[in-house]
Amino acid sequence: FGGGCFWCIEAFFEEVNGVNNVRSGYSGGKKNNPTYKEVVSGKTGHAEVCEISYNSNIISLKTLLEIFFTSHDPTTLNRQGNDIGTQYRSVIYYHNKEQQLIAVKSKEEANKSNYWEDEIVTEITALNNYTDAEDYHNDYYNNNPNQPYCLFVIRPKLNKLIKDGVISK
C-alpha cells in the first residue's frame, strides 16, 4: 500500500491485529534499487509503500483495504497533507488476479460510501520494481516517537484511527 509517507502507513498497520510484519519500500518506478534520496526527488517514478504481511485467518485483505482507505485521503492526487509528489500517491499494488479483484471492489465500495466528498483516485496496479527501503525507515514511528514528523503528523492520525475504532491499540 502507498498512501503518503510510508512512515504513516507503517505506524497504522503495525497496530492492526493479524498483521505480522510491515516493511517500508519503494515500488512502481523506473530505476532498480533506488535510494530514499532518489525516490523523494520524485524523479524515479516510485511510490513510498509498505509491504503488509498478515494472517488471513485473523484479518482479511478486504478489511486491510478498508483500513487503508480510511487511514489517508485517497481523493488527493500525488499528495497527503504537506507531502507532495508522485512518490506520495495513493496506490494499491497487487500480487495476483484475486488481490486485484478484491482491491477494485473495495475501491468501488469506498467510493459509494460517501465517506469522502471527492472521487477516489487511488491507483490499482500490479506490483512492479519493488525495493526494500533502507533499514532505518522500518519501525520508524516506534523508534522515533519524538521526531517532529512523528509528533505532529503521524501521532494525530494514529490517535484518530484508534479513537474512531478503525484500528485498536
- The cell for 137 is 525507515
Instruction: Please give the single-letter amino acid code of residue 71.
Output: S
> Which of 5, 8, 50, 150 is labelled catalytic?
5
- The cell for 91 is 496506490
**Is 150 designated active site?**
no
Q: Which 3 state secondary structure label does DSSP give 150?
A: helix
- The cell for 67 is 483500513
| Number of residues in the chain | 169
- Cβ neighbours of 61 (radius 10 Å): 18
77/85 Cα distance (integer angstroms): 9
87/44 Cα distance (integer angstroms): 9
Active site members? 5
